[in-house]
């Protein structure tokens, strides 16, 4: 299906299978998903990661898989009640896309069928392009694209990284934004990198700006991309 395709779907308490799609599923979280969820819950990112995620190391991969932790007994999402999602405005990308999935070629397909999802038998129609906007998908796609600028080169080349500090720092910058902010402002970071004062103020106040900056910092550190400028005073002095 392309973006102009029309499909039928509705969801809510009136649908017999309401919230069943939120049970026994694997939801992989991106850095932006974590940003939105921890702010919705009004808790620090580190606390969110400890309480609500499972971090799965991947062989020969620098960045682990961060998965939303389901209830051990019911296998249900921890944010779902019989009345629906308690973090709906900040739900992760897969939840926004449901019942659609995006294919590698940019087209779309249904991730389920009407035998499992009765919402597909409802009369409400949607054009895919409009549905994506209605569900707030574009900002997620934008941030996931920036994330892919880190993950794609890592998949394309095997970096010889055996320093555990690099793993720790990369994960912190991408997923643990509150700790990364302290690193930026409470270490010698600002003595080493030349950041414009307006940007510094944005990094103090905006998690979105901080995450975008984190992507640049990781690309600078891992791939040597010129995304940041080192202060002359921090450069090695010539003999």
CA distance 15 to 11: 6
Q: What is the mean pLDDT of residues 25-32?
A: 96
Residue 239 has pLDDT above 70, yes or no: no
Residue 31 has pLDDT above 60, yes or no: yes
228 near 220, Cβ under 8 Å? yes
pLDDT tens digits for range 77-97: 999 998 999 999 999 999 999
CA distance 234 to 137: 41
pLDDT-derived band at 159, boundaries 50, 70, 90: low
In the chain, the percentage of residues whose pLDDT exceeds 70 is 96
Taking each helix axis as running N to C, give the angle between helix 164-175 and helix 31-41, from 0 to 180 degrees, rounded to the nearest 10.
60
Q: What is the mean pLDDT of the chain?
A: 93
CA distance 117 to 119: 5
Q: What is the pLDDT of residue 108?
A: 95
More confident residue, 155 or 125: 125
Handedness of CA 90, 94, 95, 98 (dihedral sign): positive
pLDDT tens digits for range 115-152: 999 999 999 999 999 999 999 999 999 999 999 999 98
Q: What is the mean pLDDT of residues 3-16?
A: 95
Residue 180 has pLDDT above 60, yes or no: yes
- Secondary structure letter of residue 60 according to DSSP: T
Q: What is the pLDDT of residue 104?
A: 87
Q: List % helix, strand, coil for the chain (3-state, nearest 5).
A: 50, 10, 40
What are the helix (H) ranges across the chain? 31-41, 45-52, 93-97, 128-134, 137-156, 164-175, 177-186, 189-192, 197-205, 207-223
Can you name the residues that pair with 101 across neighbouring β-strands? 109
Q: What is the mean pLDDT of residues 165-177?
A: 94
CA distance 15 to 167: 44
Q: Is 82 exposed, middle or buried, given 0-12, 13-18 or 19+ CB atoms closer than 10 A?
A: exposed
pLDDT tens digits for range 38-78: 999 999 999 999 999 999 988 778 899 999 999 999 999 99
């Amino acid at each position: 299906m392309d973006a102009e395709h029309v499909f039928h779907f509705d969801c809510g308490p009136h649908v017999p299978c309401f919230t069943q799609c939120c049970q026994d599923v694997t939801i992989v979280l991106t850095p932006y998903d974590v940003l939105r969820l921890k702010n919705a819950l009004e808790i620090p990112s580190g606390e969110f990661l400890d309480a609500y995620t499972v971090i799965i190391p991947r062989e020969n991969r620098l960045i682990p898989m961060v998965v939303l932790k389901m209830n051990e007994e019911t296998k249900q999402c921890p944010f779902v009640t019989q009345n629906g999602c308690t973090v709906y405005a900040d739900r992760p990308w897969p939840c926004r896309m449901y019942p659609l999935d995006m294919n590698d070629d940019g087209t779309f397909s249904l991730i389920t069928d009407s035998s499992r999802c009765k919402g597909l038998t409802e009369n409400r129609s949607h054009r895919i392009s409009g549905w994506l906007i209605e569900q707030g998908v574009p900002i997620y796609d934008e941030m996931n694209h920036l994330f892919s600028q880190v993950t794609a080169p890592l998949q394309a080349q095997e970096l010889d990284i055996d320093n555990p500090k690099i793993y720790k720092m990369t994960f912190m910058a991408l997923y643990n934004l509150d700790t990364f902010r302290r690193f930026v402002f409470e270490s010698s970071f600002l003595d080493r990198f030349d950041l414009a004062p307006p940007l510094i103020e944005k990094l103090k106040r905006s998690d979105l700006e901080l995450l975008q900056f984190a992507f640049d910092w990781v690309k600078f550190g891992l791939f040597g991309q010129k995304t940041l400028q080192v202060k002359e005073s921090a450069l090695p002095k010539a003999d």
